[in-house]
Structure 1
């Protein structure tokens, strides 16, 4: 399947210039059909349908592990990343010091603040990587938690920088929110310097709502909720097979509809080719950045950065210009001080041109 063929599977794209995946990814007709078949099986099977639930969920676990190059034992299924991180941080040693990035996504920062941990914020500037390195040298944290891609500005941390930093500070726990990243680039958890990597599937993985994943390297799994280790495994037959972190992160039932949707989407991405998707998004995004820079629409921090930018852009335009975009059926979000546009595999340079045409004419 080619990207062009796959793009036709999203009816919204034929109705709008959809540049809002950073807020909500689309679902394909393929997933809709899979979901219909899933619920028909439930309709006619009742509880018998759930007899294969573990098999389905383990298959999704394998899909996630394959996609991110990790072990299935490192994969945890959760309804959303916010829940996963809040649960994980609740089981963390409260004496830990944590480094966060200022104005990062609230779901990432709130769990650390609300758990009483000692938190330090680092301002996001054009020389962000240099400032992070200096902060590590001056005040090495126990935990560094960050979004790989900032949800407002689209600033992206270089994976190679993160890997290098981890080698210099192996004792630091690196936690990455990949919700605005996964599905846009190839990523190997096994080869990365990230110890905990997670995200929700409803954005760039195009899996709909109610599904998320958390990857935790095996050597760190018993560092959380260490106080419950003596209680495990639990005696009940249906709980005996759950691992230490599964008892906390996968408490209660898991929905085969939502997680099955994630597995379906990951198999579609794999069929197209992760590298193909990465290259397509990179080309469209590079073109978008070039055009937006020429119009003077990007914040000074973005202009000054030499690191590669993501596929999310925050344009500094007026409310009147934003209204013009809406009138031309261009779908976006207002975030921070501007308008946020985001480009995925179903977008092309023509979408960039449409935005540029509207904004250029409004500047005259």
Structure 2
């Protein structure tokens, strides 16, 4: 944002996150609030009711969310979410690999972005028939059919299992993990007490513990000041028990 010349304010993530957000909106009167549905370092999940509250109370505020760490973990309805834009990469829970992504736009945002292009002439070559200015702006040139096709295969596989099934399984396992890690003093109280949770957790581990995880072939990622672990539908209670044994 700095390199593009935008003025912006950042909000600290802590137990009073929602209060910080509301206070910042009232103080700075932003035109856009950009955030992650699930924050990639901490695993903190934005509460769905809070997003809808922002949308209702600040109708002129454009809500832009990063869904990279979110989509593919459960059922989701963009039109009912209160979001104006949801954008992200398909490499994570959507199992799409690298080189692809997605963007959802509300009707309101669709009508206001790239307004200067609305009156420009569109290409009249036959193979671009049906493309509008927005399509040509967001999808210029040639798309990589392999990468897009891989994302499509990931989506098909997830739908075969059922996103409701995936959500229930990952949340059951993540809840067990969160309780166990909290009992070990590895997660703060406020992160455990939030109503809606993700399957991502960040722990303050010493390097020798991280090395043990690596030696036991437990995938963990250094993110920020902590070490991040996460669960998807293919993980099991045995995986969790193995993690807890290594941490002991």
Query: Structure 1 length normalisation: TM-score?
Result: 0.65
1:266 correspondence with 2:158 = no
- Please state how far the C-alpha of 1:258 moved relative to its aligned partner: 1.4
1:133 and 1:348 map into 2 onto residues whose CA distance is: 39
2:23 and 2:8 map into 1 onto residues whose CA distance is: 17
Q: How does 1:248-263 map to 2 (within 5 A)?
A: 248-263=137-152
1:127 correspondence with 2:11 = no
- Please state how far the C-alpha of 1:264 moved relative to its aligned partner: 1.8
- Please state how far the C-alpha of 1:301 moved relative to its aligned partner: 5.4
- Please state how far the C-alpha of 1:228 moved relative to its aligned partner: 1.8
- Please state how far the C-alpha of 1:222 moved relative to its aligned partner: 3.5
- Please state how far the C-alpha of 1:300 moved relative to its aligned partner: 6.3
Q: Which residue of 2 aligns with 1:146?
A: 35
Any idea what the Cα deviations from partners look like across 1:268-315, whole Å, max 9, x if unmatched? 211211111101110011011001001111256535x53433111111
Which of these residues, 166, 169, 189, is aligned with residue 280 of structure 1? 169
3-state SS of paired residue (1:252): coil
- Please state how far the C-alpha of 1:118 moved relative to its aligned partner: 1.5
1:249 and 1:234 map into 2 onto residues whose CA distance is: 15
Contact kept? 1:200, 1:213, Cα under 8 Å? yes
Contact kept? 2:182, 2:188, Cα under 8 Å? no
Q: Structure 1 pair 232/173, CA: closer, same or farther in 2 (3 Å)? A: farther
Q: Which residue of 2 aligns with 1:336?
A: 224
3-state SS of paired residue (2:33): strand
Any idea what the Cα deviations from partners look like across 1:109-142, whole Å, max 9, x if unmatched? xxx3222121111111112112212222333311
Any idea what the Cα deviations from partners look like across 1:6-55, whole Å, max 9, x if unmatched? xxxxxxxxxxxxxxxxxxxxxxxxxxxxxxxxxxxxxxxxxxxxxxxxxx
3-state SS of paired residue (1:310): coil
3-state SS of paired residue (2:38): coil
1:338 and 1:276 map into 2 onto residues whose CA distance is: 30
- Please state how far the C-alpha of 1:152 moved relative to its aligned partner: 0.6
1:173 correspondence with 2:67 = no
1:172 and 1:312 map into 2 onto residues whose CA distance is: 28
2:175 and 2:189 map into 1 onto residues whose CA distance is: 17
Q: Which residue of 1 aligns with 2:182?
A: 293
Query: Structure 2 length normalisation: TM-score?
Result: 0.94
Which of these residues, 199, 204, 210, is aligned with residue 93 of structure 2? 204
1:321 and 1:231 map into 2 onto residues whose CA distance is: 59
Q: Which residue of 1 aligns with 2:234?
A: 346
Q: How does 1:98-247 map to 2 (within 5 A)?
A: 112-247=1-136
2:83 and 2:221 map into 1 onto residues whose CA distance is: 30
Q: What is the Cα-based RMSD across aligned positions, in Å?
A: 1.6
Contact kept? 1:311, 1:343, Cα under 8 Å? yes
Extract unaligned runs of 5+ from structure 2: none
1:225 and 1:165 map into 2 onto residues whose CA distance is: 24
Q: Which residue of 1 aligns with 2:194?
A: 306
Extract unaligned runs of 5+ from structure 1: 1-111
Higher helix share: 1
Contact kept? 1:299, 1:316, Cα under 8 Å? no
Q: Which residue of 1 aligns with 2:212?
A: 324
3-state SS of paired residue (1:146): strand
1:316 and 1:126 map into 2 onto residues whose CA distance is: 17
